[in-house]
Amino acid sequence: MAFKIKHNNRSKYNSEKTKLDGKSFDSKKEARYYIALKERQKTGEIVFFLRQVPFDLPGNIKYKLDFLEFHSDGTVVFTEVKGYMTPLGKLKIQQSEELYNIHINVI
């Protein structure tokens, strides 16, 4: 199945905003991961997944996780797709892991 990806402007970290299936992604890498998740869902490896899952952090800060994956074996996987890790991004991931007792896979 072919997917049409529309590319927009680049960010300061050289990522390209991308539209796919009527959804906006912060980078081509994130859009490619979305495509891979859809394919894994078709094979039955993943039951379903959510995008841009919000986490409340101290100081009235919000962190949006890129993908929350629910696998057919019952596991739940938290995934953040990063091309470049900023200090603030690293801090938000670390705080989320500690506050919610989870592990976030950064790819």
Question: What are the backbone angles phi and psi of residue 7, rounded to the nearest 5°?
Answer: -100, 140
Whole-number percent of the chain with pLDDT over 70: 86
Please indicate whether residue 35 or residue 22 has the higher confidence score (pLDDT).
35
pLDDT at 15 over 80: no
**Within a 13 Å sphere around the CA of 52, how many CA atoms are in the beta-carbon half?**
5
Confidence of residue 101 (pLDDT cuts 50, 70, 90): very high
Mean pLDDT lowest for which of 2-6, 50-54, 82-86? 2-6
Hey, where are the domains in the chain?
A: 19-106
pLDDT digits (tens, 9 = 90+) for 24-38: 888 899 999 999 999
Kindly report the CATH number that applies to the domain delimited by 19-106: 3.40.1350
CA dihedral 88→90→91→96, nearest 10 degrees, is 130
How many beta carbons lie within 10 A of that of residue 78, not counting itself?
A: 20
